[in-house]
Amino acid sequence: MFLKDYIGTVVKSTKSLLKGMKLTGHYFIHQEKILTEEYPDNRDTLVMFDRFKGEVTMPHDENNEHRCTGCQACEIACPNGTIKIITKQELQPDGKKKKALDTFVYHLELCTLCNMCISACPSDAIKMGQTFEHSVYDKRQLKKSLNKPGSKLMEGVE
């Protein structure tokens, strides 16, 4: 009786295993029929939806120019000290000095992606990026400078 039950269980399990393997084999051969996408296999083609908030970024144009005046409105709006705006004085053609952005320091490890800094910016200088692979072994790597080296303020932005 025991042996009969045992053999029955083995046969049943083997049938179930073969059924699963048949399905796996079918989709392995006919990959065009796969309906679901799995990360990270689709990493190269994955496009996040428009409203996704990955991290605060500062767009630069092809001339390495950004729209940040260094006004600090984003720093003031941020509820948890994620942003530190370091400014400098730049000499203007008329000989006067004007405040300008030196470094936009952004602590991704503190950011809650609340969007308040972006809403507060009067120059439309920052926006949410769609990146989301932020894991690092050393959290110091999450401290970023959003303005690129050598970049400057776009002409016409006050």
Judged by the rule CB under 6 A, the positions of this chain that interact with ligand SF4 are 56, 68-74, 77-78, 80, 82-83, 85, 111-117, 120-121, 123, 125-126
Q: Residue 126 CB, nearest distance to ligand SF4 (Å)?
A: 5
- Which C-beta is closer to ligand SF4: that of 85 or that of 151? 85
The string of DSSP codes covering 68-125 is -----HHHHH-TTS-EEEEEEEEE-TTS-EEEEEEEEEEETTT-----HHHHH-TT--
Q: Which of 70, 57, 62, 56 is nearest to 153 (CA)?
A: 70
Q: Please give the Cα distance from 104 to 109 (Å, whole number).
A: 15
Is residue 71 a contact partner of residue 117, using CB atoms and an 8 Å limit?
no
- Which C-beta is closer to ligand SF4: that of 70 or that of 151? 70
Q: Residue 59 CB, nearest distance to ligand SF4 (Å)?
A: 11
Q: Could you tell me which residues are beta bridge partners of residue 97?
A: 91
Q: Residue 90 CB, nearest distance to ligand SF4 (Å)?
A: 15
Q: Residue 36 CB, nearest distance to ligand SF4 (Å)?
A: 32
Q: Are strands 97-107 and 143-145 parallel, antiparallel or unpaired?
A: antiparallel
- Which C-beta is closer to ligand SF4: that of 62 or that of 66? 66
- Which C-beta is closer to ligand SF4: that of 82 or that of 151? 82
